[in-house]
C-alpha cells in the first residue's frame, strides 16, 4: 500500500485533517485502532465541546457544520467564572467581543460523526480501521508505517493524530512535557429547574471544581473535578443520588436537578510535544498539544493546527514542491507552537492556582478575579479571542 499522506488516528483532528486535504490531488489513508463501527457511528462520550467563532468557520468550510443537527447545537452566550463561596464572579460577555454569543456547544460524538460522514466514500481518502501501528521506518523520500496486522503502508508524509498519549509521537522520537494534574473530571447531562440563560459557569470552589455547560432547554452538562478517591464515591452513586449530590454541590443555585445522561470520567493530563514535526512527519490535534479542558481549547486549537498544516501541504502540492519539505514543516511547527504555547501555559497556571486551597492561594485567587473583573480591556481581550475569526455563515 502506498499513499501520499498517512494519518494515524481517526479522531476529530485526524478526520478533519483528511477532509481538509480532500480534492488536493493527494492520496490519503487514515489508520484507526478502533473498529470501523465505532468510527462510523461514534457513541456519546459526555463531552460537550465549546467551539469558538473561528472553529465554526473552519467546520463550515469543511462541510461539517451543516451536518450537525441544529437542535443539538447550544448557544454559549456568556461565561461566568466564580471563586470559592462567591455568588458572583468575573463575567465574560459576548458583547465584550461585539457578538451575540461567545460560541457554541456541540456534543463531541456529533463532531466525530460529521467528520466521518464528510470523508466517508471520498475517492482520495481511505479509512483503515481496527489496526494499530507497530513501527515506523524512514526511507528515502518517505516513511513506511508497519501495521500490527503485518501489512506496511508507505507514505511521503506521516501525520500523527493519535491522542495526547500518542504512540506514534514516541516512535518518531519526539518527547513531550506531560503533566498529570492528579484529578479526574466527570461529565454528565442533567435537567434543572431554574434557567441558565445560556451562560457557562466555571466555578473554582474549595475542594472541587465545577462547571456548567448550558444546553438547549433547562438542561446542562455538569462537570465535576475531584481527586480520584472522592470521584470513585461519586461514580458509585445511583442516578437519583448523583443528581442530589450535584444539586448540593451547586448550592441549589439551579434548583432541583435530575440526571438525564450517562456519566463519563476522564483523567486530567496535559501534554505539550517538544516538537510538532520530525523528518517527513508532523503531529496534529492532541498528539501535539493535549490541553487541560478547563479553558475548553483543545479541539479549537487542534482544528486551527490541522487547517494550518493542510494549507501548507496544499500550497506545496499545487506548486509541485515536496509535501513533506523540511522548511514547510518547520513553518507549521513555529506557527502552531506560538499559537498553542501561551494558551497551554495560561491554562496550566489557571488549573494550578484555582485548585490550590491554601489560605495564601485563596487570597490570590480572589484578588486576581476581582482585578480581572474591573479591567474591561482584559475582559474584552478574552471575548475577542473567543469570537475572532469572522462572522460564521
Ligand atoms: C471532558 C473533556 C472536555 C473537553 N471539552 C473541550 C471543549 O469544550 N473545547 C475544546 O476545544 N476541546 C475540549 N476537549 C478536548 C477535545 O476533546 C480534544 O482536544 C479532541 O478530542 C482531540 O482530538 P484528537 O483527534 O486529537 O484526539 P482523540 O479525540 O483522542 O482521537 C484520537 C484517535 O486516535 C486513535 N488512536 C489512538 N492511538 C492509535 C494508534 N496507535 N493507532 C491508530 N489509532 C490510534 C483513537 O482511537 C482515536 O480515535 C475536551 C476534552 C475532555 C476530556
- CATH number of the domain where residue 319 is located: 3.50.50.60
Q: What is residue 354's predicted lDDT score, i.e. its pLDDT?
A: 78
3-state secondary structure of 246: helix
Q: Is residue 57 part of a domain?
A: yes
CA distance 269 to 188: 20
At CB < 8 A and 24+ separation, what contacts does 291-294 make? 291/343, 291/344, 291/347, 292/181, 292/268, 292/347, 292/348, 292/351, 293/185, 293/223, 293/266, 293/268, 294/202, 294/209, 294/211, 294/347, 294/350, 294/351
Q: Apex CA 16: angle with CA 14 and CA 18, to 5°?
A: 70
Phi, psi of 314, rounded to the nearest 5 degrees: -60, -40
Q: Which residues of the chain have pLDDT under 70?
A: 97, 390-393
CA distance 130 to 198: 39
Determine the atom of ligand 1 nearest the C-alpha atom of 167: 41
Q: What is residue 113's predicted lDDT score, i.e. its pLDDT?
A: 98
Q: How far is CA 130 from the centre of its chain?
A: 23
For ligand 1, atom 27, the nearest C-alpha belongs to 163
Q: What is residue 87's predicted lDDT score, i.e. its pLDDT?
A: 78
3-state secondary structure of 6: strand
Phi, psi of 353, rounded to the nearest 5 degrees: -65, -45
Q: What is residue 92's predicted lDDT score, i.e. its pLDDT?
A: 85
The alpha-carbon radius of gyration of the chain (Å, integer) is: 21
Distances from the Cα of 256 to the Cα of 150, 219, 275, 365, angstroms = 56, 11, 48, 29
- Spell out the residues 6+ positions from residue 345 whose beta carbon is closer than 8 angstroms to its own: none
Phi, psi of 322, rounded to the nearest 5 degrees: -65, 130
The candidate with the shortest Cα–Cα distance to 96, out of 385, 300, 372, 392, is 385
CA distance 266 to 235: 12
Pocket perturbation via mutation, ligand 1, pick of 59, 299, 344 by most ligand atoms within 8 A of CB: 299
Q: How many CB atoms lie within 10 A of CB 199?
A: 17
Q: What is residue 153's predicted lDDT score, i.e. its pLDDT?
A: 97
CA distance 22 to 235: 42
Ligand 1 residue neighbourhood (C-beta within 6 Å): 8-14, 31-34, 47, 49-50, 108, 132-133, 161-163, 167, 185, 187, 266, 285-286, 293, 296-300, 302
Q: Apex CA 343: angle with CA 339 and CA 346, to 5°?
A: 150
What separation in Å is there between the alpha carbon of 361 and the centre of ligand 1? Answer: 32
What separation in Å is there between the alpha carbon of 169 and the centre of ligand 1? Answer: 15
Q: What is residue 58's predicted lDDT score, i.e. its pLDDT?
A: 98
Q: Is residue 369 part of a domain?
A: no
What separation in Å is there between the alpha carbon of 112 and the centre of ligand 1? Answer: 10
What separation in Å is there between the alpha carbon of 371 and the centre of ligand 1? Answer: 34
pLDDT tens readout for residues 21-33:
999 999 999 999 9
Q: Is residue 162 part of a domain?
A: yes
Pocket perturbation via mutation, ligand 1, pick of 6, 7, 12, 74 by most ligand atoms within 8 A of CB: 12
Place of cell 484555582: 354
Q: How many residues does the chain have?
A: 393
Q: Is residue 52 part of a domain?
A: yes
CA distance 122 to 117: 10
Count of alpha carbons within 13 angstroms of residue 88, beta-carbon side? 5
Pocket perturbation via mutation, ligand 1, pick of 108, 172, 263, 294 by most ligand atoms within 8 A of CB: 108
Q: What is residue 130's predicted lDDT score, i.e. its pLDDT?
A: 97
Place of cell 494519518: 7
Q: Is residue 143 part of a domain?
A: yes
Place of cell 467528520: 115
Q: Contact 76/200 with Cβ under 8 angstroms?
A: yes
CA distance 95 to 103: 12
Give the global pTM: 0.94
What separation in Å is there between the alpha carbon of 161 and the centre of ligand 1? Answer: 9
Q: Is residue 75 part of a domain?
A: no
3-state secondary structure of 92: strand
CA distance 102 to 96: 9
Alpha helices in the chain (DSSP H): 12-21, 36-40, 53-61, 108-119, 167-171, 228-235, 239-249, 298-318, 326-353, 359-374, 376-387
Q: Is residue 114 part of a domain?
A: yes
Q: What is residue 192's predicted lDDT score, i.e. its pLDDT?
A: 98
Domain count, the chain: 1
Domain enclosing residue 43, as ranges: 2-62+107-178+271-354
For ligand 1, atom 41, the nearest C-alpha belongs to 132
Q: Is residue 277 part of a domain?
A: yes
Residue 29: strand pairing partners: 6, 126
Q: What is residue 392's predicted lDDT score, i.e. its pLDDT?
A: 38
Amino acid at each position: 500500500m502506498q499513499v501520499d499522506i498517512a494519518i494515524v488516528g481517526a479522531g476529530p483532528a485526524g478526520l478533519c485533517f483528511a477532509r481538509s486535504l480532500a480534492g488536493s490531488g493527494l492520496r490519503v489513508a487514515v489508520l484507526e485502532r478502533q473498529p470501523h463501527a465505532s468510527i462510523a457511528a461514534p457513541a456519546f462520550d459526555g463531552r460537550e465541546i465549546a467551539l469558538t467563532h473561528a472553529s465554526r468557520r473552519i467546520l463550515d468550510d469543511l462541510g461539517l457544520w451543516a451536518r450537525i443537527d441544529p437542535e443539538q447545537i447550544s448557544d454559549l452566550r456568556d461565561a461566568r467564572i466564580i471563586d470559592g463561596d462567591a455568588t458572583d464572579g468575573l463575567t465574560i460577555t459576548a458583547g465584550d467581543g461585539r457578538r451575540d454569543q461567545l460560541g457554541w456547544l456541540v456534543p463531541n460524538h456529533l463532531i466525530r460523526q460529521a467528520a466521518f460522514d464528510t470523508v466517508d466514500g471520498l475517492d482520495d481518502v481511505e479509512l483503515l480501521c481496527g489496526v494499530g501501528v507497530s513501527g515506523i521506518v524512514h526511507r528515502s523520500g518517505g516513511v513506511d508505517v508497519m501495521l500490527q496486522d503485518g501489512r506496511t503502508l508507505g507514505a511521503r508524509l506521516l501525520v500523527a493524530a493519535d491522542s495526547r498519549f500518542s504512540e506514534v509521537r514516541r516512535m518518531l522520537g519526539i518527547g513531550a512535557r506531560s503533566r498529570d494534574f492528579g484529578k479526574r473530571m466527570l461529565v454528565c447531562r442533567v435537567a434543572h429547574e431554574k434557567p441558565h440563560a445560556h451562560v457557562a459557569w466555571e466555578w473554582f470552589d474549595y475542594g472541587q471544581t465545577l462547571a456548567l455547560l448550558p444546553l438547549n432547554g433547562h438542561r446542562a452538562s455538569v462537570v465535576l473535578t475531584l481527586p480520584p478517591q472522592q470521584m470513585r464515591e461519586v461514580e458509585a452513586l445511583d442516578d437519583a443520588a448523583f443528581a442530589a449530590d450535584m444539586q448540593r454541590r451547586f448550592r441549589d443555585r439551579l434548583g432541583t436537578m435530575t440526571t438525564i445522561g450517562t456519566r463519563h470520567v476522564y483523567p486530567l493530563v496535559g501534554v505539550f510535544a517538544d516538537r510538532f514535526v520530525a523528518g517527513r512527519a508532523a503531529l496534529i490535534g492532541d498528539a501535539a498539544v493535549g490541553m487541560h479542558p478547563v479553558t475548553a481549547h483543545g479541539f479549537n486549537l487542534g482544528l486551527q493546527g490541522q487547517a494550518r498544516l493542510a494549507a501548507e501541504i496544499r500550497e506545496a502540492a499545487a506548486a509541485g514542491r515536496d509535501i513533506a519539505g523540511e522548511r514547510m514543516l518547520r513553518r507549521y511547527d513555529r506557527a502552531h507552537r506560538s499559537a498553542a504555547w501561551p494558551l497551554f501555559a495560561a491554562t496550566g497556571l489557571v488549573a494550578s492556582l484555582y485548585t490550590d486551597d491554601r489560605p495564601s492561594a485563596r487570597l490570590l485567587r480572589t484578588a486576581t478575579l476581582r482585578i480581572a473583573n474591573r479591567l474591561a480591556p482584559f475582559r474584552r481581550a478574552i471575548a475577542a479571542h473567543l469570537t475572532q475569526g469572522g462572522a460564521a455563515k
